[in-house]
Chains A and B, each alone.
Chain A
Amino acid sequence: MRVLHAQLGHHFTLGELVQVRADLAFVTLPKEHLRSAVLHLRDICKFSHLVLMTAVDWLEEERFQLTYLLHNREKHWDLGLRVMIPRVASHMESIHDIWPTAATYQRELKEMFGIDFPGSPGVDESFILEGWKEIPPYRRDFDTRHYAEKTFTQREGRKTEDPAKTMKAKLYPDET
């Protein structure tokens, strides 16, 4: 993995390699280099399988982290590429022509996080939600509980106990 990281470093601006396991590592790289890095990894380094593509909302830092997890079929290595993009008017280059299946991921990200992928097929169609009017639900500032209480009528008589108290009494009775 370190060798691979050093090799990639010749071509792209890379962040530090975070080695999680022997076969899993994450690396950060700038937005502009993502497409060429992905192509390089797929065609030359044999990372031919796109395992998943997802986003993490870092609300405090005002940015989204996009994660592209690639898998090498021969060495059984996983490499996660992290791209940081701003949270406001966020958009990203589409990779649906590299992996056709990425179009589905991008459609989901557009709907659930509001990250736009111009050019990706069907990216503007609704994927999971129907008639959604609020901000995209996976963003951190969307409060699902508040929305549920506002939208749906609740049945009275539901007894709610503070889970922390109940669990404390059951699991750790002698702890003060």
Chain B
Amino acid sequence: MAYSFDHNRSPLLESEETTEIDLESGKYLKLWQGPQHPGITGNMSVELTVCGDEVVQGKTHVGYLHRGFEKLMERRTFIQCFPIVCRICVPEPDFNEYCYAAAVEELAGIQVPERANWIRTLILEMGRINSFLMYLGGQAGSFGMGVIAQWATYVRDLMLDRFEELTGARIYHMFILPGGVRGGLPEGFETRMGETLQELESTLKDIREVMLQNAVFKKRAIGLGFIDPALFDPYGVTGPNVRAGGLARDIRKDQPYLVYPQLQFDVVVEKDSDAFSRAKVRHREVFQSVDLVRQILAKIPKEGPLMAKIPNVLHWKIPKGETYIRGECSRGEYGYYMVTDGSGYPRRVNVRGPSYTHAMALLERLIVHVNISDVAGLLVSLHIYPPEIER
């Protein structure tokens, strides 16, 4: 009998069915997807138990990228922490810089100049565009459409050029530091950025034609990885994964930070909560970010200080306190929890990456009854970046 599974059934919500898996019976097979596997997002692995070509159990294994950041930061001064935080998440490093800087500023009571806030918002939005383009390429690639990955990577490269122009680096920008930003916009940046955005928009339109209206893509993505909205809060789901389920939750609107209150945008919402609506949400959010970048470039103050006065960094001590800073990154809620004890070193920094909840408990639940060939698509559709799980 051919494999048939009703994707519309919400996975496992009605009862926690536990299958007794006896590997020696010859009915089941254990299969490792990753860490060395083309169908895995980054360096992590999923241990699958399959029956035929249907997954009956999945288990996420992480820790291949663990560097112990939270420990390393405890033995670095506040300014020494700044260059290492961006290494926590590779495809979208700017959010770490922002959250770290904002946490330090709040605990030390530093007021950031207005112009620096605008530039920070610009960088974060550019970072979101990059991250979504990585996603679009990956999602199409996981369903066998390599061409879209080529297009998306090409326009992402154009965006990296703008990053390079602004910050001097392609991947790790180290631009947002406690107190402000390292520099202003270079001469003619707006014009070149406008050209890049135009190129980006025309490619995005092509991607919509080829990917989101493609019969193969629809056939495979619709119904895949359906998350019941009742699972959102118990499983800590945030970001586009929630917005694809019909809830307009966006930290940029709900708890505005930086200059977001001065920008006009609507929260992107889709309703089906499956891989296809998640792709649609992210595709529309690139357009939203493009629009936001244009608004920022039009409104950004040309003059003004870029750095607040920070104390001598060699003897910089921050009084005892604790705080939590959050922001809406491309994958969901990104946050830093920081505790200081009055010394020159942070007492404890905890990074809350959105993939932490998506890749562990949620994925292990969604992966049941998925066909093996769709596992890669499911992983990408949750937009998992392993480095932020294990830090």
Contact = CB atoms under 8 A, between A and B. Distances in A.
Asked if chains A and B are in direct contact (CB within 8 A), the reply is: yes
Given A163-B80, A167-B314, A172-B314, A52 B234 contact: no
A69 interface: yes
B236 interface: yes
Contact of A54 (B80, B234, B254, B337): B337
B71 A101 contact: no
A23 B313 CA distance: 30
A151 to B, nearest CB: 13
Interface string A82-103: 0000000000000000011101
Contacts of B360: 101, 104
B324 A128 contact: no
B176 interface: no
B348 A56 contact: yes
A130 B361 contact: no
B370 interface: no
B180 to A, nearest CB: 15
Contact of B63 (A129, A142, A163): A129
Contact of B333 (A20, A51, A140): A51
Interface residues of B, number: 43
A104 B361 contact: yes
Interface in B344-359: 347-348, 350, 352, 356-357
Contact of B75 (A51, A56, A103, A145): A145
A144 B72 contact: yes
B249 interface: yes
Given A20-B321, A69-B324, A80-B322, A101 B235 contact: yes
Contacts of B63: 126-130
A142 B233 CA distance: 35
Contact of A138 (B71, B321, B324, B337): B71
Contacts of B234: 99-101
Contacts of A76: 254-255
Given A73-B233, A101-B235, A164 B72 contact: no
Nearest to B360: A104
B19 interface: no
Contacts of A51: 236, 324, 326, 333, 335, 352
A128 B390 contact: yes
Interface string B63-87: 1001010111011010110000000
A100 B72 CA distance: 29
A127 B361 CA distance: 13
Interface string A146-176: 0000000000000000011001100110010
B339 A56 contact: yes
Interface string B137-161: 0000000000000000000000000
B328 to A, nearest CB: 13
Given A57-B348, A73-B233, A76-B255, A104 B356 contact: yes
Contact of B62 (A20, A49, A69, A128): A128
A160 to B, nearest CB: 14
Contact of B350 (A50, A54, A100): A54
A93 to B, nearest CB: 18
Nearest to A148: B68
B75 A101 contact: no
23 contacts: A20-B321, A26-B322, A51-B333, A52-B337, A52-B350, A73-B233, A78-B324, A99-B234, A100-B235, A100-B361, A101-B236, A101-B360, A103-B361, A104-B357, A128-B63, A140-B74, A144-B75, A145-B75, A167-B79, A167-B313, A167-B314, A172-B312, A172-B314
Given A101-B235, A167-B79, 17 more contacts: A26-B322, A51-B324, A51-B352, A52-B335, A54-B348, A57-B348, A67-B322, A69-B337, A99-B235, A100-B235, A100-B361, A104-B356, A129-B66, A138-B70, A140-B74, A144-B71, A168-B314
3 pairs of A and B residues whose beta carbons are closest in the complex: A128-B63, A54-B350, A104-B360
Interface of A: 20-21, 23-24, 26, 48-52, 54, 56-57, 67, 69, 73, 76, 78, 80, 99-101, 103-104, 126-130, 137-138, 140, 142, 144-145, 163-164, 167-168, 171-172, 175
Interface of B: 62-63, 66, 68, 70-72, 74-75, 77, 79-80, 106, 233-236, 249, 254-255, 312-314, 321-324, 326, 333, 335, 337, 339, 347-348, 350, 352, 356-357, 360-362, 365, 390
